[in-house]
Chains A and B, each alone.
Chain A
C-alpha cells in the first residue's frame, strides 16, 4: 500500500507515492533521481548517505521516506549557492580533502552541521564530530584541514594556507 508524501528537497517541493518501507536514501536516489547521496553500508555505520533534515545531519539510510514527510531536506546538490561553491565544498577542493569522492557528500553535510554548532572547532572536536563518517582514502588529515578552512571562511577569518606541509 503506497502512501503519498510531500517534502522539500533543496528548496524544491516534491509530492510522490512511496511504499512505507522505502528508505529515504533510496527515495532520494531512485524516486527523485538525485544520486549525489551515496550508499556505503547496510548497518548505518559509514555515513556516506548523510544529509540534512531540517538542518540537522542524519544518515538517510536510517530514516524512512514517510518519516521525512513535511520536512526540508538538504543534499549535496543543494549546498552551493548562485555565488558558487559552499565554503565546505571550497575547503575540500582547496585542501585535497577527497580522493575517490564517494564519502565526500556525506562528510561535507556532516561538517556543515558541525560548524553551525561549533564555528571554530579544535582538531579533536572535528575528528570526533566526523567519527560517524568513514573515509577509506584520505587518512582524514586533509578532511580535518578542509573543515578548518571552511570554518575560517564561514567566520570571515583569514584563510589558512592550503599548501601541503612536509617534514624537512
Chain B
C-alpha cells in the first residue's frame, strides 16, 4: 500500500490526483505544433528519394516553380553555399540536411518546396523532377563488412570500410575460461527488430525568423528544447543565429517515446527557408514520411550465451552485438556510450563474470537509432538476458521461476556492483517475483499447462524479471555533445501562496503538470492544484536536457525537491521571525510550522509566503523563489517481474495473450494512477515488437511496410487487459526515493511474451524464436521440426 503524508486537499506524493492537463485535451484545446498559426505562414513539403542508394544526376525545379504560389525549391546545393548541407549527429557522426550528390536511403530528403498553401506545396513536390543513377545498396548488416561491399561513406576521405565503431566491457579472459570449463553452456542468435516509435502525432515545426531583430522562434516537436537550441546555435552560429537569438518552444507533444529527441533534416531546412525568405515556414511530416525516414529504434543482432552449472547456478554471460545504424550513427545516446546502457545485460542476476562487445556498421537504411521508450539500448540487453536465462532453464530442465530465485541478486547485496561496472542502488527482486506469481497463480497455471500438453494444446507461461537503468545521469559520466546531463527546476511562489514552477524537461503525455506539482506540494504543503507547471519554452524555463530515458523524475523531479527544500528553509526562518521563537523551537507538518509543545502558535505556509513579500525579516532577501540544478549522484535501477500466459491455436497458431501480470518496483510512487497508466501504455508498446511490429526492407532497400496500413501498431483488440501492481524499494540516493517508471514495461514485456510463446512450443523442441513472433513464424518453426501432421500449403 502507498502511504500519503499529505491530505487530499494538498495532494502530495501517493495521491491518485486527476491530471491537471486533461481539461484542455478533452475539450480540444491542446496546442500541438500543427495547431500553431502565425500570420503569413508558408508551407514546406519534401521531395524524397524512391531509391535506397543513388547518385543525383539532376534536379529540375522549373515546372514546380511555375505553379502559382510556389516560392522556392531548396536543394543541397543551395544549402552548401551556407555550409548547412551537413549537420552533426548526437554521436559525433555527420548527417545530410539535403544531399548534394548522393542519396543513402529510400525516403531520404532530396529537396524542399516552399509555397503559400499546403496543397500547392504538395503539387510542387510532385512537379520536381529528379534524375537518379541507381546503385546497388548495402541492406544486410552482416554483408556490410564484406570485402566486396561498396564503401558507403565516401564523404569521409579516410573511411576504408563500413565499420563505425567497436565497443566492449567486462572480463574477457575470465569469461572465456568459464565457458571452456562450464558444465552447461547455451547459445542463441537473436534479432531485436528495427521498429518505430510511431507516436500518433508525427514530427514537425514552425520556423519563424524575424529579419529585423535577427531572431528565430522555433515551434517544434522536441523532447529536449534547450539541447536543441544549443545544437541549432552550433550548426547555424556562423550565419548569425547565435544562441541568444534562438527561442525554441515545444508546445503540447502528441507522444514522443524518444522519436522526438533527434534533429531531423526537415527542421533545419525549415529554419533555412524562413531565414532566407523572412516568413514563418511550417513543416509537418506525413505518417508515411515519419515511418520511412525518421529515426528507427533497436535493430541489434545479438549472439547471447550463458554458462552455468547443472543445478542451475549461472556463472557467466557473453554477448556479441552487430548494430545496424543505417547510413549514419544518429543514435541518441550519452556521448561516451555508443551502445547506451547495453552493459546492464547481466540483469537481475548475480553474475561473477560477463563480457559484452558490439560492432556498429553502416547500411543504406534510415539513420538512428533512438532510445524508444528505453534508457538507451536497455530493451535490447534485457531481451537477450531474459531469453538466454529461459534457454538455460530449458536446457537443465529447471522451472524458470526457480532458476531466477536461485540466481537473483539478494536484497542485502545492494548497493550491488555488477561485473560490467554499474552500482545498482537498491532492489528486492524476490519480493517482486513472489507477488507476480501470486497474482497470476503460477503453480496452478503449471498444473493446467501439464494437463493441456497431454491433450496437445499449446499453452505457455513466460517470465521476465528485469532490471532497468535510468535517470541519466551523473555529470562525471553523462553528457550530450559535452553538456552534462543534470536537470533543473525553478519555483516561483506568488504573494497569495499560488505558484508557478518551470522545468528543463518536457512532458509528452507523462503528466508532468500533475506529478511535479505533487512533488512540490509534498515538500511545501501548498496544494498541488495551486501550482502551475510550465515546460518547453527556452526563453522562460531553466536549462535542462529534456525528457527521455525515464530521466524526468530522477533528475528534474529531484531538482524540484531540492528547490522546494531551499524554500522550506527560508519559510522556517520567516516563521521563527513571525512567531518570535528560535528556529529550533519549530516543527513542520505539511503546510505549516508550529511551535513545539504549543501547536496553537503556528503559521501556515501561505501566511509565511505572504510575509516574504510584505513583512520579511530585515536583511533577508525578499520574495519566495528558488532554482536548483540537480546532478544525480548515481543512476536509478527500477525493476520488474512480469508473467505472461499465452494460448496458441493449434490449427492457425494465432497467439492469444490470456493474462499478463506486471509487478514494477520504481521506488516511491508520486501518483499511483499516472504510474499505472504509464505501465499500461508501455506494456502495449512491449507487445508491439513481441508480436506485431518490424520495419522490413527488401534486398534493394525498399521499405515494405512504411505506412500504418501495414506497420501493425496494436489496437485495443490486440492489446490485452493488463494487470499491474508494485513493490516499493526506494532509491537510497534520490531525495524522495523515486526511480522512474515510464519505460520499464516496454523494456520488460517483450521477453515475457517471447518466453511464454517459446514455453508453449517446448514439447516440440523449439528453443528460440525471434520477435515479432507471428503465427506464420510458429508454423514455419514447427514445420522445420517436422512435427506438423497436417499438410498445410505454405503461401
Contacts and interface: CB of A to CB of B under 8 A. Distances in A.
Contacts of A105: 28
B128 to A, nearest CB: 19
Interface in B658-688: 661, 663, 672-674, 676-685
A144 B31 CA distance: 25
A58 B288 CA distance: 21
Interface string B478-517: 0000000000000000000000000000001111000000
A100 B202 CA distance: 13
Contacts of A133: 715-716
Given A96-B674, A127-B716, A137 B707 contact: no
Nearest to A130: B716
B684 to A, nearest CB: 4
B18 A94 contact: yes
Interface in B20-42: 21-32, 34-35, 37
B89 interface: no
A93 B26 contact: yes
A113 to B, nearest CB: 16
Contacts, number: 203
Interface in A83-114: 85, 89, 92-94, 96, 98-105, 108
- Indicate the member of A39, A43, A167 with the most B CB atoms within 10 Å: A167
Contact of A167 (B118, B672, B723): B723
Interface stretch (B103-111, B227-235, B249-257): B249-257
Interface residues of A, number: 63
A32 to B, nearest CB: 12
A41 B291 CA distance: 10
B399 interface: no
Contact of B680 (A75, A76, A142): A142
B343 interface: no
A35 B709 contact: no
Contact of B28 (A26, A34, A42, A167): A34
Given A89-B27, A128-B717, A134 B200 contact: yes
B255 A136 contact: yes
Contact of B201 (A38, A85, A108, A167): A38
Given A93-B23, A103-B200, A137-B681, A167 B716 contact: no
A45 B509 contact: no
Query: A30, A102, A108, A132 — which one has the most chain B CB atoms within 10 A of its CB?
Result: A102
A160 B724 CA distance: 19
Interface string B5-31: 000000000001011011111111111
Contact of A30 (B118, B252, B663): B118
B439 interface: yes
A140 B724 contact: no
Contact of A99 (B35, B677, B683, B716): B677
B722 A141 contact: yes
B418 interface: no
A126 B716 contact: yes
A99 to B, nearest CB: 3
B242 to A, nearest CB: 33
Interface string A133-153: 111111111111000000000
Interface in B686-732: 707-709, 713, 715-717, 719, 721-726
A164 B673 contact: yes
Contact of B27 (A26, A77, A100, A140): A77
B401 interface: no
B672 A164 contact: yes
A168 interface: yes
Contact of A92 (B1, B22, B24, B32): B22
Contacts of B717: 127-128, 131
Contact of B202 (A40, A85, A143): A40
Contacts of A104: 25-26
B677 A135 contact: no
A33 B726 CA distance: 45
A128 B27 CA distance: 25
A37 B28 contact: yes
Contacts of A140: 680, 684, 715-716, 719
Contacts of B677: 96, 99, 138-139, 142
A9 interface: no
A47 to B, nearest CB: 9
A163 interface: yes
Which of B28, B37, B509, B681 has the largest count of A CB atoms less than 10 A from its CB?
A: B28
A103 B716 CA distance: 13
A101 B287 contact: no
B201 A40 contact: yes
Q: Is the interface of A mostly helix, strand, loop or mixed?
A: loop
Contacts of A131: 715-717
B119 interface: yes
B292 to A, nearest CB: 11
Contacts of A141: 680, 721-722
Contacts of A89: 26-27
B286 interface: yes
A40 B711 CA distance: 14
Contacts of A16: none
Contacts of B511: 99
B199 interface: yes
B220 interface: no
B707 A41 contact: yes
B428 to A, nearest CB: 16
A132 B716 CA distance: 9
A167 B26 CA distance: 29
B135 interface: no
Contacts of A19: 119
A76 B26 CA distance: 8
B435 interface: yes
A55 B39 CA distance: 34
A93 B510 CA distance: 14
A35 B25 contact: no
A22 interface: yes
Contacts of B679: 139
Given A138-B680, A164-B16, A100 B118 contact: no
Nearest to B254: A102
A35 B34 contact: yes
Contacts of A22: 119
A3 B677 CA distance: 46
A46 B714 CA distance: 11
A54 interface: no
B198 interface: yes
A163 B677 CA distance: 12
Contact of A139 (B16, B286, B663, B722): B722
Interface in B727-765: none
Contacts of A48: 200
Contacts of A135: 200, 716
Contact of B200 (A75, A80, A102): A102
Contacts of B724: 166-167
Interface of A: 19, 21-22, 26, 29-30, 33-43, 45-46, 48, 75-77, 80, 85, 89, 92-94, 96, 98-105, 108, 123, 126-128, 130-144, 163-164, 166-168
Cβ-closest 8 pairs across A and B: A36-B28, A102-B254, A101-B25, A100-B509, A139-B680, A167-B725, A99-B509, A76-B28
Given A36-B29, A102-B30, 16 more contacts: A26-B118, A40-B201, A40-B287, A41-B708, A45-B709, A93-B23, A96-B677, A101-B25, A101-B26, A103-B200, A131-B715, A131-B716, A136-B685, A139-B680, A139-B683, A167-B724
14 contacts: A35-B31, A46-B287, A76-B27, A98-B509, A99-B511, A101-B509, A102-B32, A102-B200, A102-B255, A127-B716, A131-B715, A135-B200, A167-B725, A168-B1
Interface of B: 1, 16, 18-19, 21-32, 34-35, 37, 118-119, 197-202, 252-255, 257, 284, 286-288, 435-436, 439, 508-511, 661, 663, 672-674, 676-685, 707-709, 713, 715-717, 719, 721-726
